[in-house]
Structures are given as C-alpha cells and as structure tokens.
C-alpha cells in the first residue's frame, strides 16, 4: 500500500465531559476498499463518524482527506469535498418528497439525475411521495440514494442493515458491492451484523472503549485474542464474531 491514503485518522481522541469516547484512534483508508468498523455498543463508532464528517470536533488528533487536514471544517464543507454519510437512526427530510430528498443531496435542481439515483434503489415509482410515508426498508434505501447524490468518493454507512430482514440484508450486501465497483466508491461501514461484515469488507477495524484494538483482514481480526475478549468480556450486547452466518 504505497499509495497515499484517501482518508487517514491520526491519533484522534474525543472526550465528552468525563467520557473518553475516542482514545487515540488511527487508521487509513485506501481508495476503492470497503472498510468495516465494528465493536460493542458505546465503543465510539458513531462518534468516529461524527468526527470524520465534521459533526463533532476531535479533542485532539488529525483527520486527513487526501493528505489535507479537514478536522474542524463544518459538515457541509466536508460533504462538498466528497464524503457523504447515512445515519444510524435514519434522518430523512420527512416533509419533502423522495425526489426532493435526493435533490437536496444533489445541491441543484436536476430531476433526471435524481430519478436515476432513485432508480438505483428501486424507488423511482415513489419519487413524488413524501419521505415520511415510506416503509422502513425504503427509508434506508432513500437515505443511501440521498448520500450518493453528490457523487461522493467516500460513503460512510452507519448501520445500514439495522432493522432489515435477512433477505434485505443479503440484498444490501450485494448492492453495496455493486455500487462500490460501479461508482468507484470507497466505503466505510459500521454494522453490528458481524457475519455480513466478514463477507463484505476488505478490511476491518475493531473499536472498544474508544480505542482501536485490532485492524486487518476479516480472517485476521476474527482470531485476534483482544477482539474475542472485547466481545466475550461483557462490554456490550453484540454477538461475538465467531458466530457464523
């Protein structure tokens, strides 16, 4: 990996009052890879997303995008650099139509392009409907369509499979692979469903209590003693990575 990384975190920490949400986290993403972030509840995964996307400032450390520091920039500036995200608990513009949700992501009025994006997720027939009225799975898909509208280079997905049924989860996995390949996306993904992550991700980082305790290819991470301990040590309610699909 001699190429300069697309995104690099250097020693990123974040405190909230007495809580050390992130503690010296470092890793780097290469362009084109699907990179997973796993860890028990409260490990700091979403905080890390917030730091990368400008929602939260790091207390210390650096976030580098194509080797330039971006920490402290406001979210909309970071979005315009080519980083787009989804949210763990789905944040759509409920009063807007599906079409307009996507057009907000586009930043301009372009019906045709917006319809293409909706079609990527099979939502073209729903274009005029208000986002509030969609079924749960469609809401997840719409949020991804909105995130992709700006043609980002890095897509950050926060638990995209939460609340989906097993069939939808399988579909999601193949959709992510296909999009990554077709749109030359780099994907950073948080997901609790470990089997899905094992088969989807090129590399994984494991967080526990705000620290990165492991980093590597899925099969390396799976057998890392620290990871096994984090999951079996009672720190959270997630299934250990040993569980097979």
Partner 1 sequence: MDTLLQILVNGISVGAVYALFALGYTLVFSVLGVINFAHGALFTLGAYLTYLGVGGAVGSNGALAGWALPLALPFPVALLLAGAGCALANLLVEAIAFRPLRRRGAEPLLYLITSLGAGVVLVNLLQIAFGAEGYALPADALGDLPPVLSLAGARIRSVQLLLLLVCAVVMAVLTVWLERSRGGRALQAVSEDAVTARLLGIDSDAMVRLSFALSGLLAGLSGGLVGLSVSIAGPYFGIVYGLKGLGVLVLGGLGSVPGALLGGLVVGLAEAAVPGDLSGLKDAVAFAFLFAILLLRPQGLLGRPPISKV
Partner 2 sequence: MPDGSLLVQMLIGALLGLSVYLPLAAGQLSLATPGFMTVGGYVAALLSTRVAALGGAEPLYPLPWLLLELVLAAVIALALALVVGLPVLRLRGIYLAIATIALNEILRVLLLNSSWTGGAVGIFAIPQPFGDPLGYLAALLLLLLLAGAACQVLAGHPLGRAMAAVRDDELAASCSGVDSFRVKLLAFGASAVLAALTGVLAAHFFNTWNARQGSFDASITTLAFVVFGGSRLWLGPVLGGLVLTALPELLRPVGDLRLVVFGAVILLGPLLFPQGVVTPALLQRLPLPAGWRRRLLP
Q: What does the binding site for partner 1 look like in residue numbers (CB under 8 A)?
A: 16-17, 46, 49-50, 55-56, 87-89
Q: Percent helix, strand, coil in the chain (nearest 5)? A: 35, 25, 40
Point out which span in 107-115, 179-187, 188-196, 234-242 binds partner 2 (CB under 8 A): 107-115
Minimum CB distance to partner 2, residue 160 (Å): 15
Lay out the site mask for partner 2 across 163-202 (x = CB under 8 A, - = otherwise): ----------------------------------------
93 touches partner 2 by CB under 8 A: yes
Minimum CB distance to partner 2, residue 28 (Å): 22
Point out which span in 11-19, 39-47, 69-77, 199-207 binds partner 2 (CB under 8 A): 69-77
Which one of residues 92, 134, 180, 207 is an interface residue with partner 2 (CB under 8 A)? Answer: 92
Minimum CB distance to partner 2, residue 190 (Å): 15
CA 85 to centroid of chain Cα atoms: 6
Residue closer to partner 2, measured from CB, 142 or 205 = 142
What is the side-by-side order of every strand in the sheet holding 211-216?
A: 83-85, 154-158, 186-190, 34-38, 203-208, 211-216
Minimum CB distance to partner 1, residue 178 (Å): 28
Residues 6+ apart with CB under 8 A from 189: 34, 35, 36, 37, 156, 157, 160, 176, 197, 200, 201
DSSP label of 97: B
Minimum CB distance to partner 2, residue 58 (Å): 17
Which of partner 2, partner 1, none lies near 209, with the C-beta cut-off 5 to 8 A by kind? none
Which one of residues 11, 72, 107, 166 is an interface residue with partner 2 (CB under 8 A)? Answer: 107
Residues 6+ apart with CB under 8 A from 54: 70, 72, 73, 74, 75, 77, 78
Q: What is the phi/psi pair of residue 119, to 5°? A: -65, -30
Residue closer to partner 1, measured from CB, 117 or 131 = 131
142 touches partner 2 by CB under 8 A: no
d(CA 230, CA 223): 12
DSSP label of 6: S
The token pair at 132 is 């509030």
Which one of residues 16, 57, 80, 166 is an interface residue with partner 2 (CB under 8 A)? Answer: 80
Residue 175, Cβ neighbours under 10 Å: how many? 17
Which of partner 2, partner 1, none lies near 17, with the C-beta cut-off 5 to 8 A by kind? partner 1
Q: What angle do CA 232, 169, 160 make, to 5 degrees?
A: 75
Site residues for partner 2 per CB under 8 A: 53-55, 74-76, 79-80, 84-85, 87, 91-96, 100, 103-105, 107-109, 146-147, 149-150
């Amino acid at each position: 990996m001699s190429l300069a990384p697309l995104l690099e975190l250097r020693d990123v920490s974040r405190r909230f009052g007495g809580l050390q949400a992130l503690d010296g986290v470092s890793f780097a993403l290469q362009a084109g890879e699907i990179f997973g972030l796993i860890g028990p509840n409260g490990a700091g995964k979403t905080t890390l997303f917030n730091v990368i996307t400008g929602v939260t400032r790091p207390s210390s450390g650096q976030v580098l995008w194509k080797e330039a520091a971006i920490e402290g920039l406001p979210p909309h500036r970071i979005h315009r650099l080519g980083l787009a995200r989804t949210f763990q608990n789905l944040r759509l513009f409920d009063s807007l139509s599906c079409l307009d949700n996507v057009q907000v992501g586009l930043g301009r009025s372009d019906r045709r392009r917006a319809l293409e994006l909706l079609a990527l997720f099979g939502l073209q027939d729903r274009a005029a409907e208000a986002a509030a009225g969609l079924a749960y799975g469609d809401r997840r898909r719409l949020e991804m369509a909105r995130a992709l509208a700006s043609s980002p280079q890095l897509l950050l997905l926060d638990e995209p499979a939460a609340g989906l049924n097993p069939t939808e989860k399988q579909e999601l996995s193949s959709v992510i692979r296909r999009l990554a390949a077709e749109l030359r996306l780099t994907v950073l993904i948080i997901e609790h469903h470990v089997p899905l992550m094992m088969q989807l991700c090129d590399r994984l980082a494991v967080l526990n209590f705000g620290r990165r305790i492991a980093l590597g290819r899925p099969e390396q991470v799976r057998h890392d003693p620290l990871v096994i301990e984090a999951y079996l040590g009672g720190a959270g309610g997630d299934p250990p990575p040993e569980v097979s699909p």
